[in-house]
Amino acid sequence: MSNDLKGKVAFITGAAHGQGRATAILLAKQGVHIAAFDLAQTLKYPGYELGNENELVSLRKECESHGVTCLLFTGDVRVDDDIAQAVIKTIEQFKRIDILFNNAGICAYGYAQDITEQEWDIMLDINLKGAWLVARRIIPVMIDQHDGVIINNSSIAGLRGMNRLSHYAASKWGLTGLTKSWAIELAPHNIRVVSIHPTGVNTPMNDGLAALEGLTAKEIAERSAGNLLPVPWIEPEDVAEAVVFLASAKSRYVTGSQLVLDAGLLTR
């Protein structure tokens, strides 16, 4: 158990299921209070199932079984008012925010010439602009504390090109740029900023994308066939372990960095 995390507060976007949920639970096990923010409804684009209210309620139950408080917020990372209200209520309750996990995101396939302008905007607004909208409400809190860590969930798509995923890759490269730039801006305030770059992760996103392609998640993984280690994907708990490490004092001098969780994919 990372004792330095006990009593800290994490604000997690996209917390209802997948990587955000696994991370909320692992942080709660370390004694971290959770502010869980999620859209909790499915969007026409990308079309696969996003998180829902029941998942949020069961997340709170699971986190609180570890002796911490878990606040739930239904909102959209594209809507500043949703974010501002959630941050105000989190501060009212806990008086601080130590960890921001900018994790909410969507994915969808499409060749550049086929993606509509609206699809491009939705992708970039959620994955990239949303991360900034959330961070800009939390950075002042962290500056006042002279302490904090921001972890942006990018992807291997934030470090390489991706077939039929150019708008997704653009959003994820954008997160890499935000990470490096915020690390420079915030280091004087003792705030670290890092990004993580998972290969395929076994989450509802993976299942949803496979269904849209008319394939199983395993077939999609075989199609990309990039991992060096003989696994089709990694688990959301693997991502959660990395986030806990990056949030803890064990990584106190890690900032501006990209932590690659790719089972060796980028080494090919």
Ligand X SMILES: NC(=O)c1ccc[n+]([C@@H]2O[C@H](COP(=O)([O-])OP(=O)(O)OC[C@H]3O[C@@H](n4cnc5c(N)ncnc54)[C@H](O)[C@@H]3O)[C@@H](O)[C@H]2O)c1
Active centre residues (catalytic): 168
The rounded distance, in Å, linking the Cα atoms of 163 and 172 is 14
Nearer residue to ligand X within complex by CB, 64 or 235: 235
* 59-67, 104-112, 137-145, 213-221 -> range binding ligand X (CB under 6 A): 104-112
CB 84 within 8 A of CB 67: no
Asked if 126 interacts with ligand X (CB under 6 A), we say yes
Nearer to ligand X, 89 or 189 (CB): 89
- Residue 46 contacts ligand X per CB under 6 A: no
DSSP-assigned letter for residue 227: -
Nearest CB to ligand X, comparing residues 48 and 94: 48
Give the one residue of 63, 97, 106, 210 binding ligand X; rule: CB under 6 A: 106
**Is the four-CA dihedral 97, 153, 228, 257 of positive or negative sign?**
negative
- Stretch near ligand X under the rule CB under 6 A, chosen from 59-67, 103-111, 134-142, 182-190: 103-111
CB of 145 to ligand X, least distance (A): 24
Instruction: Give the one residue of 23, 36, 51, 179 binding ligand X; rule: CB under 6 A.
Output: 51
Between CA 90 and CA 72 the distance in angstroms is 10
**d(Cα 13, Cα 82) in Å, to the nearest integer?**
12
Smallest gap from residue 167 Cβ to ligand X (A): 12
Tell me how many residues contact ligand X (CB under 6 A). 30
Q: What is the DSSP string of 127-138?
A: IIIHHHHHHHHH
The rounded distance, in Å, linking the Cα atoms of 163 and 35 is 35
Which residue of 5, 10, 12, 19 would you call a contact of ligand X, by CB under 6 A?
19
Buried b (16+ CB within 10 A) or exposed e, 174-200: bbbebbbebbeebeeeebbbbbbbbbb
Complex with ligand X: residue 38 or 98, whichever CB lies closer = 38
Q: Which is nearer to ligand X, 78 or 189 (CB)?
A: 78
Q: Does 155 engage in binding with ligand X (CB under 6 A)?
A: yes
**C-alpha torsion sign, points 253, 257, 259, 265:** negative
Residues 196, 153: Cα–Cα separation, whole Å: 5
Q: Please give the residue ranges that form the binding site for ligand X (CB under 6 A).
A: 13-14, 16-20, 38-39, 50-51, 76-78, 103-107, 126, 130, 153, 155, 198, 200-201, 203-206
